[in-house]
Structure 1
Amino acid sequence: MARLQVMHLPCTPDGSTPFMLVIDEVEPLDVDFTDPKYADFYQVLKDETGARCVFATLATLDVA
């Protein structure tokens, strides 16, 4: 099952604390990364949460 993690990025001069969403352990049968509909999904996820970017991978990542 995929996991959702938040990775904090260095602060910006305006004082905001940017972050990126990391989705790891994505099963290849669950998501076809070549399908354009998932690009829209990740863009909406990014826009709705305020994340700087969304990173999805099959690998296991531990965000500190």
Structure 2
Amino acid sequence: MLSHPEVSSAGVITAEPSRVELLLYVNQYRRNVNTTGEKVDQNRVVLTLVAVDGEWRIAKAIAV
């Protein structure tokens, strides 16, 4: 199976100097030998990022 995700849109839920919570709209395109064409799964993910030593790191990811 071949699959590739693509973020179609994103929005900020909350933002603080060292923590950000985002809502991502993710389309996942997949194809395999058992189906004709490409199938698109639309997913939503709440992503929490925290600042660590000057870099943003993913602290949590929740599918909604």
Q: Which has the higher contact order (CA 8 A, sep 6+)?
A: 1
Higher fraction of helix: 1
Rg: which structure is higher? 2
